[in-house]
């Protein structure tokens, strides 16, 4: 947001509080540091420097402040020989880092004062910084929150991922359609990172595996890759709250061993001379290249192995440097796999232990299982990755041998224990024999880990009953629950300074360090004076968002209207379509019944659809077509506005979340693993409308039934409904409201230029409604009517909003990380 950010840290004790002279000295030191960076690192004079120049200078000055704590943290970890945690994730959606870093260093106000003396506005610089394009959605944002919490809790941790040149994509909307363009976040450099060209590892692909006799009769297997790519490290310091500890986010960039085929270049084939470089560097160009082609599928596997191998080589090197003995790896290293993307790391670590370091197979497998743990994030079959065995055998031949051997020993052990039923053994196998032979990466991650966790109570139980049902029966103690959390530093303190300041004035500042201290707000939920101040803080956020919408979309919205928000990746199971259909129904009612007292409402959507996900892109088009019709219809009388904000990212979320009145969490029950947007919006005072899915279940338990709007089929009812098939004709006919909406889509009411545009959606809803949009439509409409009635009772609504803030302290990522540390990683936590 563009609001001034208020100072946050608790008041120091009188004995340790800085004097006025000390504060003035700090401001002067920061001012001098910024000017020095501007002159000697940016190479600009203050009289000619642009806002971007000033941003880089301030970022570099702030980074310098991190480095001392960073070096101290590294020294402490080595001196104490602590067990290190390594978090492997294909995504780290870290967002902008300027205010985040200054907040955790307690330097926001000193830096603001230092810049004010130079006639520079810190808040303007905040908006100059690009969002780091290193993730897509909840998976990457969770990884970022977890990295910050690990530093806050003084866990010696490293994050490992890929330094994408262009991220997922930059979304633009043209004529209502999504278009994808490369992100340009690195065009002007990244002032937060430290290139480490000396830290590089060779990553092999293809080739052959040779068997070499050894003494004792057990042959050695030597992999001779036909292609090598170099992984080069870039380090970003991650500072914890109050500078407690600074950890490292190490991202890998792909390079060709030889950047140019000089012989080919001198023959005049200038494009061909760069072919090897382009092929190698494609690995770190974009996140989630489309896998709709064989080449795209291969690139995804290359990405996953590239970063897993580089990360494992790096952490093994670090372990040997300090401890000297590979046999103690599991005692000093805990590796968390964030979803199945890094699961190939199980086979890679076995290769390193057996082929490179000479351990026997059984000991290597014991170390591997004790080292790895795996977080499952989905119950969707397409998200539990499988790779065709021909692709694996061609690209990673040694790893395929290792996987076959892991599988053979696994199945032999089961048969020895008396399991003979072929169907059961097939379900437990790492190799899926259906529809062509594939490697089940989820099974590999499960077998190679000592703990597997879901990310909400409901999700963890469903993991046991569905995707890992057979494995859970064999290993009943392996699956545990670790409900997700979010860092309150970014999602309350930084995103919502108005509310943060009000809370601190009301209950004191204990909640800065203990999120569950927010419970002290509960007695104020019915206090009319506090309700008014709470409402004013929220209204300031809504006005700021209304201005943003006006600036970006040229749409004027009423900041006093109910802001009804659904911001997340566009996917059929997340059911943005259900929201849009109800929006159409509301639009029809407003036009047909002008005598009714409708609650003014602004429907706000944001999110990206995967480039090759045609149905999701059609849903985006529908949202924009509905917005065009509704927003330009004078008969609506501004009682309803629809907005789709393009290019959803962390910074946009920071503007939307504090302004949300209603949080849409309406996925088909049993399909959302957890969600973290639901936590962020509840923390900031939005009431949730949702199904009993993911973390909605735990949010309801904590905020209370009266302070959330639950509707729709339960997980069990969804399963029963699907047994009857996906044909929804009877359901549609039984609901006049729904029938009218679907007829309007079929008749082209929102697509007069192409009346058949939404035929695929109509056909899907009518005959193939797997996500049960039609089954939940009436219940959702009734819940929305309940929302409108509650909104009219402003005292009741404000009470519920305050209680949402007061009762969501448990959803802190600090709590989640403390649980991982205690139950899975077996490392101590502490706060400095």
| Cβ–Cβ < 8 Å for 151, 244 | yes
Helices (H), 486-527: 488, 497-507
Q: Given the residues 569, 700, 739, 815, select the one marked as catalytic.
A: 569
Q: Is 556 among the residues known to form the active site?
A: no
464 is catalytic: no
- Strands of the sheet containing 709-710, edge to edge, are 640-645, 601-606, 562-567, 662-665, 687-690, 709-710
Q: How far apart are CA 315 and CA 413, in angstroms?
A: 31
Nearest Cα to 355, choosing from 207, 204, 212? Answer: 212
423-427: which pairs have CB atoms within 8 A and are 24 or more residues apart? 424/470, 427/470
Catalytic residue among 300, 680, 702, 757: 680
- Tell me how far CA of residue 480 lies from CA of 268, 460, 710, 821, in angstroms: 60, 7, 26, 13
The packing angle between helices 773-792 and 794-806, to 10°, is 110
Please work out, in degrees rounded to the nearest 5, the angle formed at the alpha carbon of residue 615 by the alpha carbons of 612 and 621.
100
**457: its two tokens:** 């109570």
Residue 680 annotated in active site: yes
d(CA 292, CA 195): 34
Please confirm, yes or no, whether 574 is among the known catalytic residues: yes
What is the C-alpha to C-alpha distance for residues 404 and 402, in angstroms, rounded to an integer?
Answer: 5
Cross-strand partners of 86 = 158, 335
Q: How many CB atoms lie within 10 A of CB 464?
A: 19
Does 568 qualify as catalytic in the annotation? Answer: yes
Nearest to 644, CA basis, from 78, 176, 53? 176
Instruction: Please tell me which residue in 498, 568, 571, 641 is annotated as part of the active site.
Output: 568
- Out of 377, 464, 478, 702, the active site residue is 377
Strand partners, 640: 601
Indicate the SS3 state at residue 80.
helix
- Residue 317 falls in the annotated catalytic set: no
Shortest CA distance to 474 belongs to which of 519, 429, 535, 523?
Answer: 429
The residue with tokens 């926001």 is 108
- SS3 state of residue 220: strand
- Please check whether residue 467 is in contact with residue 384, taking contact to mean a CB–CB distance below 8 angstroms: yes
Q: What is the 3-state secondary structure (H, E, C) of 286-345?
A: CCCCCCCCHHHHHHHHHHHHHHHHHHHHHHHHHHHHHHCCHHHHHHHEEEEEECCCCCHH
Residue 149 CA to residue 159 CA, distance in Å, equals 12
Query: What whole-number distance in Å separates Cα of residue 306 and Cα of residue 298?
Result: 12
Paired tokens of 254: 């792909």
From 657, 709, 652, 653, select the one nearest 683 (Cα to Cα).
657
Name which of 74, 142, 147, 49 is nearest 104 in CA terms: 147
* CA atoms in the 13 A half-sphere facing the CB of 454: 26
Q: 311, 301 in Cβ contact below 8 A?
A: no
Which residue among the candidates 37, 574, 608, 799 is catalytic per the annotation? 574
What six digits make up the tokens of 286?
């974009």
Say which DSSP state 4 is in: P
- H-type helices in 729-792, by residue range? 729-733, 736-746, 759-767, 773-792
CB burial of residue 244 (10 Å; 0-12, 13-18, 19+) = middle
Q: How far apart are CA 736 and CA 618, in angstroms?
A: 25
Q: Tell me the helix, strand and coil percentages in the chain, rounded to 5.
A: 55, 15, 30
- Candidate list 375, 483, 676, 691, residue with the active-site label: 676
On whether the CB atoms of residues 670 and 695 are closer than 8 A, the answer is: no
Alpha helices in 641-735 (DSSP H): 650-656, 677-683, 696-703, 715-723, 729-733
- Helices 294-323/344-351 angle, 10° precision: 50
Give the 3-state secondary structure of residue 711. Answer: coil
What residues are labeled active site? 377, 568-569, 574, 676, 680
């Amino acid at each position: 947001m563009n609001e001034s950010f208020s100072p946050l840290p608790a008041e120091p004790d009188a004995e340790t509080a800085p004097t006025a002279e000390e504060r003035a000295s700090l401001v002067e030191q920061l001012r001098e540091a910024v000017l020095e960076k501007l002159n000697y690192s940016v190479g600009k004079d203050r009289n000619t420097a642009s806002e971007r120049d000033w941003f880089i200078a301030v970022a570099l000055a702030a980074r310098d402040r991190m480095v001392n704590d960073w070096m101290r943290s590294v020294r402490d970890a080595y001196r104490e020989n602590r067990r290190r945690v390594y978090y492997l994730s294909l995504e780290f959606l870290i967002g902008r880092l300027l205010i985040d870093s200054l907040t955790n260093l307690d330097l926001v106000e000193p830096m603001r004062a230092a810049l004010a003396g130079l006639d520079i506005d810190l808040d303007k610089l905040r908006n100059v910084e690009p969002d780091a394009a290193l993730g897509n959605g909840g998976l990457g944002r969770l990884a970022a929150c977890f990295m910050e919490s690990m530093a806050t809790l003084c866990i010696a941790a490293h994050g490992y991922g890929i330094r994408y040149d262009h991220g997922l994509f930059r979304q633009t909307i043209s004529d209502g359609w999504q278009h994808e363009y490369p992100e340009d976040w690195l065009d002007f450099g990244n002032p937060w990172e430290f290139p480490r060209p000396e830290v590089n590892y060779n990553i092999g692909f293809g080739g052959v595996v040779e068997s070499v006799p050894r003494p004792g009769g057990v042959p050695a297997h030597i992999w001779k890759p036909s292609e090598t790519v170099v992984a080069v490290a870039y380090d970003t310091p991650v500072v914890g709250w109050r500078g407690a500890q600074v950890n490292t986010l190490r991202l890998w960039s792909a390079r060709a061993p030889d950047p140019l085929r000089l012989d080919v270049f001198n023959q005049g084939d200038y494009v061909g001379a760069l072919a090897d470089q382009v092929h190698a560097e494609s690995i770190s160009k974009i996140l989630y290249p489309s896998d709709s082609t064989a080449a795209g599928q291969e690139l995804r596997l290359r990405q996953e192995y590239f970063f897993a191998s580089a990360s494992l080589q790096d952490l093994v090197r670090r372990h040997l440097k300090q401890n000297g003995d590979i046999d103690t790896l599991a005692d000093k290293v805990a590796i968390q796999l964030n979803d199945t993307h890094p699961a190939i790391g199980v086979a890679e670590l076995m290769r390193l232990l057996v082929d490179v370091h000479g351990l026997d197979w059984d000991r290597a497998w014991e170390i591997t299982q004790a080292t790895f743990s795996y977080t499952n994030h989905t119950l969707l079959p397409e998200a539990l990755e499988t790779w065709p065995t021909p692709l694996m055998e061609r690209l990673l031949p040694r790893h395929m041998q290792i996987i076959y051997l892991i599988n053979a020993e696994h199945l032999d052990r089961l048969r020895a224990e008396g399991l003979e039923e072929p169907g059961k053994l097939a379900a437990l196998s790492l190799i899926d024999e259906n529809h062509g032979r594939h490697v089940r990466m989820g099974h590999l991650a499960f077998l190679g880990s000592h703990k597997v966790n879901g990310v909400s109570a409901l999700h963890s139980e469903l993991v046991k009953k569905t995707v890992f049902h057979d494995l859970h029966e064999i290993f009943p103690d392996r699956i545990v629950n670790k409900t997700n959390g979010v860092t309150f530093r970014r999602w309350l303190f930084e995103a919502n300074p108005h509310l943060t300041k009000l809370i601190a004035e009301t209950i004191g500042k204990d909640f800065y360090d203990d999120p569950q201290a927010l419970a002290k707000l509960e007695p104020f939920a019915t206090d009319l004076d506090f309700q008014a101040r709470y409402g004013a803080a929220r209204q300031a956020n809504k006005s700021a968002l209304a201005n943003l919408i006006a600036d970006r979309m040229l749409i004027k919205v009423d900041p006093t209207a109910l802001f009804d928000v659904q911001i997340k990746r566009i996917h059929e199971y997340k059911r943005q379509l259900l929201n849009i259909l109800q929006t159409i129904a509301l639009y029809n009612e407003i036009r047909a019944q002008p005598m009714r007292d409708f609650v003014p409402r602004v429907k706000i959507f944001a999110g990206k659809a995967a480039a090759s996900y045609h149905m999701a892109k059609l849903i985006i088009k529908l949202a924009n077509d509905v917005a065009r019709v509704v927003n330009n219809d004078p008969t609506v009388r501004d009682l309803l506005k629809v907005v789709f904000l393009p290019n959803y990212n962390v910074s946009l979320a920071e503007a939307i979340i504090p302004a949300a009145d209603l949080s849409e969490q309406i996925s088909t029950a049993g399909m959302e693993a957890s969600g973290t947007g639901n936590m962020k919006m509840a923390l900031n005072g939005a009431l949730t409308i949702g199904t009993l899915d993911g973390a909605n279940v735990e949010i309801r338990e904590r905020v209370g039934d009266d302070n959330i709007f639950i509707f729709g089929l339960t997980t069990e009812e969804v399963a029963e409904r699907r047994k009857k098939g996906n044909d929804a004709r009877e359901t549609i006919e039984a609901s006049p409201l729904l029938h009218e909406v679907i007829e309007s889509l079929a008749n082209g009411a929102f697509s007069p230029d192409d009346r058949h545009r939404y035929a695929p959606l109509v056909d899907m809803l009518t005959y193939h409604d797997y996500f049960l949009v039609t089954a939940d439509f009436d219940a959702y409409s009734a819940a929305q009517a309940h929302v409108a009635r509650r909104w009219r009772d402003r005292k009741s609504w404000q009470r519920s909003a305050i209680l949402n803030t007061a009762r969501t302290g448990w959803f802190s990522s600090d709590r989640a990380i403390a649980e991982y540390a205690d139950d899975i990683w077996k490392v101590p936590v502490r706060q400095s």
